[in-house]
Structure 1
Amino acid sequence: MQLKKIITALSLAIILVLAGCGAQTTSEKTAQKPEYIATDATGAKMELSAKPKKIVSLIPSNTEILYRLGLGKNVVGVTSSDDYPVAVKKVSVVATTEINVEKIIGMKPDLVLGHASMMSYNKDAYDQIKKANIPLFVVEDAQDFDAVYKTFTQIGDLTGTTKEAEKLVSSMQATDKSIRKEAAKKVETKAKVWLEISPDLYTAGQDTFINEMLTNIQATNIVSEKGYPQYSEEQVIQAAPDVIITIYPNAKQEIAKRSAWKNIPAVKNNRIYEIDPSIVSRPGPRLIEGQEALFEAIYPK
């Protein structure tokens, strides 16, 4: 009888040990299961098992998104073009015209955010970063608000800030809706707009953020081509824009030198406005500010 009790006790002990081992294994598997998942612009699926603590951003728009999601303290590397928010100026620069791959590898970041628009220039650098077993996520080259919102969500999913990303999207959508509603009430005749990116007459056409913004505020872009074409003076003169928007310094002085433009309505009526390029061209959280700025310039209160 005593032997039977001992055998029973030993059996129970073994069962408990095995159960404990099983529980530990399950726990370990759960801990190792990727929780931060997104598919990038190249179709590659990224799975991170832990929230990234050290992040490198290789384009200003990504940096602005990270800071808006409350991840500024985690950003350890940026480009020389990063200028917003102000705190970013204290972050180590890892890319100018070229990416300093060695510096990035030396930082041992948990995540590097690249961008599809830079793929053709930086493919070798991106490949080297990947070969060093550093997670590199290529963000889509978004050209409309919906694609930008998707970017916010993806970066939020990868960094454990999904809720913050959702709040950001909701906030921008609400502001966008408000601006559209006001524009629909206020605008009786749509203004024709010429947007000048540079003195050599590069502009923004269809399928761009700027065109979407102009459409949202009941304005008409005089450019019918897609993307960022170069126009001639004759094309602009013939289109006779009511408003000229510029996104480079001293544009008014530059335009004043063009004697052939003196009869364009926008020039005759002194309706030439300069807007910060970063808020209308970077696919980041300040795009909605760009839309507001365009609305206020084209349809002043």
Structure 2
Amino acid sequence: MKKQLLIPLTLLLLLIISACGNNSAEKEGSSAPEEKKSETITYQSENGPIEVPADPQRVVVLSSFAGNVMALDVNLVGVDSWSKANPHFEEKLKDAEVVTDESLEKIIELEPDLIIGLSNIKNVDKLSEIAPTVTFTYGKVDYLTQHLEIGKLLNKEEEAQAWIDDFKKRAQEAGQEIKAKIGEDTTVSVIENWDKQLYVYGDNWGRGTEILYQEMKLAMPEKVKEMALKDGWYALSLEVLPEFAGDYVILSKDADTDNSFQETETYKNIPAVKNNQVFEVNAKEFYFNDPLTLDYQLDFFINSFLGK
């Protein structure tokens, strides 16, 4: 008889223990705080996945991408000298320090939570010990995809994509108006004088080239196609400048360099110069192809070609 009662009693005890356990778990579950939102995200960089802040507050940019970060309303505490010298960025970067890939102590003092640069920067290992460091190879992706990648890195992909869609629409519509005015086959070249050397640019090297050639589809002089399209730029002498000058010329000038070539007969006899179809720009404002610069360049081209 005792043996017969033993099994039911054992089962009853197990049921009681199980019920108590379930009640305890329910109470714990109901009173437990909600799981905190992750403070980092994983960005798929060129060199593999890397944990970066989900909401970066103190970013250092060592090359090229300051305008991309500012366009997404993310705070910069350190930038490269080229960005700092850009008059168009002056107000936004007034509190940012100039840094390089070798000023490690200064970067440590800035306490960044994210560092961004080109793939050819030095001391990546040491920089990575200071903060997550992400690098990009210039030209590996097109200029708009580059902005989208930075949007992903900063956890602002939707904002980046929205700007891209709007920009392409505005640039392409302006291009149609410009071609209707100047003619489908009218050529445009982008020429720059820097450090006593003349350069002409292809379709992906800043200076407004992405807008003129990729979005607006304006015609490029044959000589420019031949010499500058592959590498993005080509250094030339004053003597051959007329061969590379289009019907219209965007002349990127730096007031701090020698621009006396404009006083030569070779330059003055270029048809675009004679026809008053040279549009001069401040080189320091026109170097890059970030959203802030691209919007500025687009407004300049609309005003110059269309008088709007």
Q: Same fold (TM over 0.5)?
A: yes
Structure 2 counterpart of 1:136, from 133, 140, 149: 133
Partner of 1:181: 176
Which range is displaced more, 182-191 or 161-170?
Answer: 182-191
| 3-state secondary structure, aligned to 1:178 | helix
Kept in 2, the 8 Å contact 1:36–1:48? The answer is: yes
Partner of 1:78: 79
Q: Post-superposition shift, 1:253? A: 5.8
| 3-state secondary structure, aligned to 1:89 | coil
Q: Post-superposition shift, 1:20? A: 7.7
Partner of 1:220: 220
Partner of 1:48: 52
Kept in 2, the 8 Å contact 1:179–1:292? The answer is: no
Matched, 1:265 2:263: no
Compare the two structures and name the one with the higher strand fraction.
Answer: 2
AA aligned to 1:195 is V
Kept in 1, the 8 Å contact 2:60–2:79? The answer is: yes
Partner of 1:57: 61
Partner of 1:290: 297
Partner of 1:94: 99
Relative distance call for 1:232 and 1:134 in structure 2 (3 A) is same
Larger Rg: 2
AA aligned to 1:267 is V
Matched, 1:232 2:230: no
Kept in 2, the 8 Å contact 1:65–1:284? The answer is: yes
Kept in 1, the 8 Å contact 2:190–2:201? The answer is: yes
> What TM-score do you get using the length of structure 1 for normalisation?
0.76
Which range is displaced more, 2-11 or 76-85?
Answer: 2-11
Q: Post-superposition shift, 1:68? A: 1.4
Q: Post-superposition shift, 1:70? A: 1.6
Kept in 1, the 8 Å contact 2:60–2:116? The answer is: yes
Partner of 1:205: 202
Percent of aligned positions that are identical = 22
Cα distance in 1 for partners of 2:40, 2:289 equals 26
Matched, 1:113 2:108: no
Q: Post-superposition shift, 1:18? A: 5.6
Cα distance in 2 for partners of 1:115, 1:175 equals 29
Kept in 2, the 8 Å contact 1:183–1:217? The answer is: no
Kept in 1, the 8 Å contact 2:211–2:298? The answer is: yes
AA aligned to 1:266 is A
Partner of 1:193: 188
| 3-state secondary structure, aligned to 1:87 | coil
| 3-state secondary structure, aligned to 1:70 | coil
Kept in 2, the 8 Å contact 1:114–1:138? The answer is: yes
Partner of 2:125: 127
Kept in 2, the 8 Å contact 1:37–1:48? The answer is: yes
Cα distance in 2 for partners of 1:163, 1:24 equals 35
Cα distance in 1 for partners of 2:95, 2:305 equals 36
Relative distance call for 1:283 and 1:23 in structure 2 (3 A) is farther
1:33-68 per-residue CA deviation (whole Å, 9 max, x = no partner) reads x8633333x433223364323221112x42222221
Structure 1 counterpart of 2:260, from 245, 251, 254: 254
Q: Post-superposition shift, 1:278? A: 4.9
Cα distance in 1 for partners of 2:31, 2:68 equals 38
- 5+ residue gaps, structure 2, are 1-7
AA aligned to 1:109 is P
Kept in 2, the 8 Å contact 1:58–1:78? The answer is: yes
AA aligned to 2:202 is G
Relative distance call for 1:114 and 1:253 in structure 2 (3 A) is closer
AA aligned to 2:77 is V
The Cα RMSD (Å) is: 3.7
Kept in 1, the 8 Å contact 2:112–2:130? The answer is: no
Partner of 1:163: 158
> What TM-score do you get using the length of structure 2 for normalisation?
0.75
Relative distance call for 1:269 and 1:173 in structure 2 (3 A) is closer
Cα distance in 2 for partners of 1:23, 1:236 equals 77
Relative distance call for 1:134 and 1:24 in structure 2 (3 A) is farther
Cα distance in 1 for partners of 2:79, 2:70 equals 12
1:208-254 per-residue CA deviation (whole Å, 9 max, x = no partner) reads 34444333252434512232211123322345643332211359962
- Equivalent residue pairs, number: 284
